[in-house]
């Protein structure tokens, strides 16, 4: 059964719609700037949503809602998607996040910090009639959530799913990445020789996935998720999990690596992640395919990153445009890959989106423009 992604929405520091965000990226705008976290941490380079602007935006959605900030982000992301695609009795909500409402702990609200409670609150707000699903698998969560929606629809467990992803920039998350010594003291430079680590960010993203074949839909042609079981926080040096994920996704899509027009990679700007990806892409003969990381525009939005970058990938396909990898200047991996350095119009049909995360998780999906050649 063919499965498609239809409408999308992004709430990020760059804007409060998919089009806002895509136009900012096309103009070369990055959300990364110095952000004050608290007195103990000080300031870090990160992508932070402006609270005053967002609160003004949220007033146009629900002036009476008094819930948490993260609930407002989810509602803002999902509301226009639900409005354009009315729910059915079998509609399913799938929420992707790594830390959920971890900010609730600062207020001693233990129950509010549980991800399942956050998900139930959003499910109830929109009136879903089915039980919601949580996907929390480190930084692959967003891509994995799309994969899960596809498989549920293929198994005829539902006909459609609303996939929503969120993570906030909190002192808890920042201090965690500082303990890994993974934070960059400057704007991040994925794949660059002078990269020094990751910038964090925050976003909420929503997409509608269904078995309906509509004009301008993007088909999810293949997917796979493989754990390399290498280390709790370090990727396989051979890229084994990512290699297998891409290989299996290509096999399901029944295409070869030379049919991929564009790769939206994970690209955190850490030494080991970027090197691992370069190794995996070379093993699959993908080293010449135009590739970018979007972390230089948004920072690493953790459980939201996979869905956020999938939506930008979809826009790249629809608009036939390759987006440069922000911050990149010179090759910084031992194996050559084709990093995009300037905006370029090019006919695009098929894209590969990948994600990798702590615990050895890896995900890959193949996206193709809906055309006369829809696969069933």
φ, ψ for residue 216 (rounded to 5)? 65, 15
Q: From the first residue on, what is the mean pLDDT of each consecutive set of 10 residues in the chain (376 residues)?
A: 96 98 98 97 98 98 97 98 97 97 93 95 98 96 97 97 98 94 96 97 98 92 94 89 98 97 97 96 98 98 98 98 98 98 97 95 94 56
Secondary element (H or E) of residue 92: strand 92-96
Say what the pLDDT of residue 232 is: 84
Say what the pLDDT of residue 216 is: 85
The Cα–Cα gap between 250 and 17 comes to: 31
Burial class of residue 66 (count of CB atoms within 10 Å of its CB; 0-12, 13-18, 19+) = exposed
Q: 10 Å Cβ neighbour count for 118?
A: 24
Say what the pLDDT of residue 103 is: 94
Q: Coil, helix or strand for 257?
A: helix
Say what the pLDDT of residue 375 is: 59
Residues in contact with 19: Cβ distance below 8 Å, sequence separation at least 6, in sequence order: none
């Amino acid at each position: 059964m063919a499965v498609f992604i239809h409408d999308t929405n992004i709430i990020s520091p760059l804007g409060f719609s998919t089009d806002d965000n895509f136009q900012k990226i096309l103009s070369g705008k990055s959300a990364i700037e110095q952000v004050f976290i608290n007195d103990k941490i000080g300031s870090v380079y990160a992508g932070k949503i402006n609270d005053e602007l967002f609160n003004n935006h949220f007033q146009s959605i629900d002036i009476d809602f008094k819930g948490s900030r993260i609930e407002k982000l989810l509602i803002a992301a999902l509301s226009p998607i639900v409005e354009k695609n009315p729910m059915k009795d079998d509609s399913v909500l799938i929420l992707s996040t790594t830390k959920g409402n971890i900010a609730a702990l600062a207020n001693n609200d233990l129950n509010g910090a549980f991800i399942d409670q956050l998900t139930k609150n959003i499910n109830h707000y929109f009136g879903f009639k089915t039980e919601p699903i949580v996907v929390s698998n480190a930084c692959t969560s967003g891509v994995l959530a799309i994969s899960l929606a596809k498989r549920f629809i293929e198994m005829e467990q539902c006909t459609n799913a609303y996939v929503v992803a969120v993570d906030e920039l909190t002192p808890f998350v920042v201090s965690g990445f500082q303990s890994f010594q993974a934070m960059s003291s400057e704007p991040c430079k994925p794949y660059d020789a002078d990269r020094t680590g990751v910038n964090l960010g925050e976003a909420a993203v929503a997409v509608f996935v269904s078995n309906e074949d509509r004009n301008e839909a993007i088909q999810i042609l293949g997917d796979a998720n493989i754990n390399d079981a290498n280390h709790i926080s370090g990727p396989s040096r051979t890229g084994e999990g990512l290699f297998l994920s891409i290989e299996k996704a290509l096999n399901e899509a029944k295409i070869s690596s030379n049919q991929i027009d564009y790769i939206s990679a994970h690209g955190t700007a850490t030494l080991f992640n970027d090197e691992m990806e370069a190794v995996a892409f070379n093993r699959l003969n993908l080293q010449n395919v135009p590739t970018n990381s979007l972390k230089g525009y948004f920072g690493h939005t953790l459980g939201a990153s996979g869905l956020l970058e999938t939506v930008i990938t979809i826009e790249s396909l629809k608009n036939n445009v390759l987006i440069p990898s922000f911050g990149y200047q010179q090759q910084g991996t031992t194996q050559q890959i084709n990093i995009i350095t300037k905006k370029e119009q090019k006919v695009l049909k098929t894209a590969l989106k990948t994600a990798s995360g702590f615990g050895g998780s890896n995900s890959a999906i193949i996206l193709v423009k809906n055309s006369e050649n829809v696969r069933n």
